[in-house]
Structure 1
Amino acid sequence: MITPPEPFQHLLEGSRQTFFIYSVSARRVLYVSAAYEQLFPGARRDAVDADLPTLLSYLPPDDQAYARECFADLAAGQLHDDLLLRLQPRPDRPQRWLAVQAHQALAADGQVLLTGTVQDVTVEQEYLRNADKYMAKKNTTLEILSHDLAGPFNMLRQLADFLEEKTQVLHDPQVQKMIEVMQNTCRDSVNLIRDFVDGEFMDSANVDMKRTRVDLATALSQVMDTYQKGEHLVAKSFSFRTSHPAVYVEIDNNKFLQVINNLLSNAIKFTGEGGRIAVGLEQHADHVLVTVADDGIGIPERMHPVLFDRFTKARRPGLRGEKTTGLGMHLIHTLVRLHEGTIWFESAENRGTTFFIKVPTAPGGGS
């Protein structure tokens, strides 16, 4: 094992990060810092090459294949963002997260090297994943509540319209003024609710992309579980199916789930009481396909060509009078394109609508 130059030895040996140099040519570790033995209790620096197969077995099978693929790319000179790996030596031990940074280098003698660091980031990852989970739950709950709260206001507005018609014969300005206040209050309340939810979506869309490796099957299952618990509030039924129990894809989790939430919100708007809304997930060799389908009123054919346009002319109120800004579908399209994906739909009036989202499993594998 090589010894670092004197000026760097104290820095490398005193760091909590594990520094390493691996020879791709010789298939052995040339250097690993002292933190290696704290990162993997029971491991010894002088036996690191013998430890490697055991350490790899600590990774879940999905992560083993992912790690091999990423290190093969690095060895070939392809750049990667930080590599996040789950580590679970035994089922009775808590899962840990490791962040690996590595770069290809060429030694003076011509050896191809991988140099980098390994760090335990379990605390940070658990925090971020909990934040993502509750952010998705918050956005989903807002969508459900916005439709639930808008319903009574729209009903009251319809009653006010009926009263206006029936009381016109009275020619009483005070009565007409009271009815007008009722109408305006109901309309403004519905608009306020939708403006708040739409503002959350637009704020999320304007944040820089941060792609990480996500189990999309689990993420979508959690979102749909919240919708299923709120079925009685929106008088619709929700279902979810996935081709595999775990489907890994590199996405910005918050932005992608906002896309799904907004498609579900539109499905709720244009699906009558007792309607069905279904989300599907299929894993393919180099991409995933997400579908959001409803059996609602469908999209008129004249609106198909302009649906994703900015400030599209395809704007129309929902079945309960919900307003639309016209920006929603444009932002959905933009966010899907930022993931190097494509979105399209199939729809016919009174026969429902299905949206399809195709996204590569990793950046650079564009559809």
Structure 2
Amino acid sequence: MESTKGTLRPNDKVAQLEKEVLALRKQIKLLQAENTSDTNRLENQVEAGKRDIIELTPFETIFDKSILGNKIIAPDLKIIRVNKALENMLGYNQEELIGTKITAFSHPDFIGHWKELQDHLWSKKIPAFQIEVCMIKKDGAIIWCRVTSILFQNQNEVLGYTIVEDINTRKTLEQELKKQYEKQETIMHLIAHDLKNPLYNIKLAAELLKDTLENSNNAVSERNKEAFEYINLIMATSDRTFEIVQDLLLIGEVESSATVAEEINLGDLIRHYLHTHHADATKKSIKIVFHSSDEPVFAHIEKEKFMRLLENLLSNAVKFSRAGEQVTITLKKENDKAVLQVHDNGIGIPEELQENIFDKFTKARRTGTSGETTTGLGLYIVKQIVQKYQGRVWVESKENKGTTFYVELV
């Protein structure tokens, strides 16, 4: 009988093959499970890193090569991406900037500006917003920057593409110019103050001299007539110069003084003014009419400042009205605000001059209908007073058809 040791029978071979097949199937399942796990892990990593992946392919060159600082910020103001120019501007490297809120590099006085930008872009959905802020560099130096941020959609998130421009040189020049301006204003104010009393004395001396000549028992001679003409000239010149000095002093007061407001009844002030100030209108036979609602109209402003505001507007209306015409004052309340209108039917303001009429020593100044002159400061003072009390002033005018000035106060 032939030995079969070491030789597998057919049934045994089949059984062994089945075991090997089962083992291979287990290995395949394990590999499939590992592959699925790797795939899921990669997908999770991609999902978690979406905020760090910015699809800016069309803007890559602009972003990276720009000489202006470029950055991308998230709705919470965290920096997602920066270019080399911004790194150089602030002195920080990319690792120090990315992931940090931009407010961490802002001067404390300007944190509110960044929050305003955040609110306008992401809450109010304004597509672009611009601010000027001070940033603090790594070495502690302060730099002025103009920041322009534009919203754009990146996958499922709205981000801010932000351009940061170094405006330090411009701001330094502006501040120096402001100092020079303030110094000039101080000198002008001192000169005006020193001139006020001598001018008043000249005017008073001329009036006394005129009274003396008028009360003289001597017959009015030709020489006396000539003297009267000179005296009148002195008085008119003194009045004119005194008016300029008063305006200069008021400008200094309005621009430098703190705002002190009280709630006042504007209607009562206007009525009081019209009872005591109407000489110029009377000379030109101009009628001043006042219209007001039955309800009192109040505003927060100093009485003296409002009286000067009203005087300047009325003086302007009378000056450019023809003899015998009418000036109308209207006072009303609109949207919880006091609105004053001063309307005349005079010569009007040419359209090309209207944008300059509120400028200091404006080039738009003209001679009145009876030859009246102007300092070019009256309407500038009006605007300064109105803005000092958070109001606004504007004008509507047509040449040869009249002018209306509007003042809105809170």
- With the length of structure 1 as denominator, give the TM-score of the two structures: 0.52
Structure with more contact order per residue of length (Cα contacts < 8 Å, sep ≥ 6) = 1
Tell me if 1:32 matches 2:79. Answer: no
Q: Which runs of no fewer than 5 residues in structure 2 stay unpaired?
A: 1-52, 263-268, 275-291, 293-305, 318-373, 394-407
Alignment of 1:347-362 (within 5 A): none
1:21 counterpart (47, 72, 75): 72
Whether the 8 Å CA contact 2:117–2:129 is kept in 1: the answer is no
Q: CA deviation at 1:44?
A: 1.7
Q: Which residue in the other structure is 2:98 paired with?
A: 49
Q: Which residue in the other structure is 2:36 paired with?
A: none
Q: CA deviation at 1:341?
A: 6.3
Q: Which residue in the other structure is 1:62 paired with?
A: 109
CA separation of 1:127 and 1:81: change in aligned 2, threshold 3 A: farther
Counterpart CA distance in 2 for 1:292 and 1:334 is: 12
- In terms of fraction of residues, the more helix-rich structure is 2
CA separation of 1:153 and 1:172: change in aligned 2, threshold 3 A: farther
Alignment of 1:185-264 (within 5 A): 185-188=234-237, 190-192=239-241, 194=243, 261=251, 264=254
Whether the 8 Å CA contact 2:135–2:143 is kept in 1: the answer is yes
CA separation of 1:12 and 1:88: change in aligned 2, threshold 3 A: closer
Counterpart CA distance in 2 for 1:326 and 1:124 is: 31
Q: CA deviation at 1:75?
A: 2.2
Alignment of 1:104-253 (within 5 A): 104-107=151-154, 109-139=155-185, 141-168=187-214, 169=216, 170=218, 171-174=220-223, 176-178=225-227, 180-188=229-237, 190-192=239-241, 194=243
Residue 152 of structure 2 aligns to a residue whose secondary structure is strand
Q: Which residue in the other structure is 2:297 paired with?
A: none
Give a deviation string over 1:152-172, Cα, whole Å, max 9, x none: 123112112212222442545
CA separation of 1:140 and 1:66: change in aligned 2, threshold 3 A: same
Counterpart CA distance in 2 for 1:46 and 1:65 is: 26
Q: Which residue in the other structure is 2:314 paired with?
A: 312
Residue 21 of structure 1 aligns to a residue whose secondary structure is strand
Residue 72 of structure 2 aligns to a residue whose secondary structure is strand
Q: Which residue in the other structure is 1:97 paired with?
A: 144
Tell me if 1:87 matches 2:135. Answer: yes
Q: CA deviation at 1:62?
A: 2.8
CA separation of 1:105 and 1:300: change in aligned 2, threshold 3 A: closer
CA separation of 1:167 and 1:137: change in aligned 2, threshold 3 A: same
Whether the 8 Å CA contact 1:75–1:114 is kept in 2: the answer is no
Q: Which runs of no fewer than 5 residues in structure 1 stay unpaired?
A: 201-233, 235-259, 266-277, 281-289, 294-298, 316-322, 343-357, 360-366
Whether the 8 Å CA contact 1:16–1:35 is kept in 2: the answer is yes
Letter in 2 for 1:117: I
Counterpart CA distance in 1 for 2:142 and 2:156 is: 39
Letter in 1 for 2:85: A
Q: CA deviation at 1:117?
A: 0.4
Counterpart CA distance in 1 for 2:61 and 2:245 is: 54
Whether the 8 Å CA contact 1:157–1:183 is kept in 2: the answer is no
Whether the 8 Å CA contact 2:74–2:158 is kept in 1: the answer is yes
CA separation of 1:94 and 1:173: change in aligned 2, threshold 3 A: farther
CA separation of 1:122 and 1:152: change in aligned 2, threshold 3 A: same
Q: CA deviation at 1:34?
A: 1.7
Give a deviation string over 1:300-326, Cα, whole Å, max 9, x none: 8612889555732799xxxxxxx9997
Counterpart CA distance in 2 for 1:10 and 1:16 is: 11
Residue 35 of structure 1 aligns to a residue whose secondary structure is helix
Whether the 8 Å CA contact 1:154–1:186 is kept in 2: the answer is no
Letter in 1 for 2:94: R
Counterpart CA distance in 1 for 2:384 and 2:168 is: 32
Give a deviation string over 1:243-286, Cα, whole Å, max 9, x none: xxxxxxxxxxxxxxxxx837649xxxxxxxxxxxx944xxxxxx
User: CA RMSD for the aligned pairs?
Assistant: 4.6
Residue 291 of structure 1 aligns to a residue whose secondary structure is coil
Q: CA deviation at 1:97?
A: 0.8
Q: CA deviation at 1:38?
A: 1.0
Q: Which residue in the other structure is 2:286 paired with?
A: none
Counterpart CA distance in 2 for 1:279 and 1:292 is: 12
CA separation of 1:17 and 1:2: change in aligned 2, threshold 3 A: same
CA separation of 1:163 and 1:98: change in aligned 2, threshold 3 A: same
CA separation of 1:136 and 1:60: change in aligned 2, threshold 3 A: same
Whether the 8 Å CA contact 1:58–1:87 is kept in 2: the answer is yes
Q: CA deviation at 1:31?
A: 3.0
Counterpart CA distance in 2 for 1:133 and 1:114 is: 36
Task: Report % sequence identity.
Answer: 13
Letter in 1 for 2:233: N
Q: CA deviation at 1:37?
A: 1.6
- With the length of structure 2 as denominator, give the TM-score of the two structures: 0.47
Q: Which has the larger radius of gyration?
A: 2
Q: CA deviation at 1:68?
A: 2.8
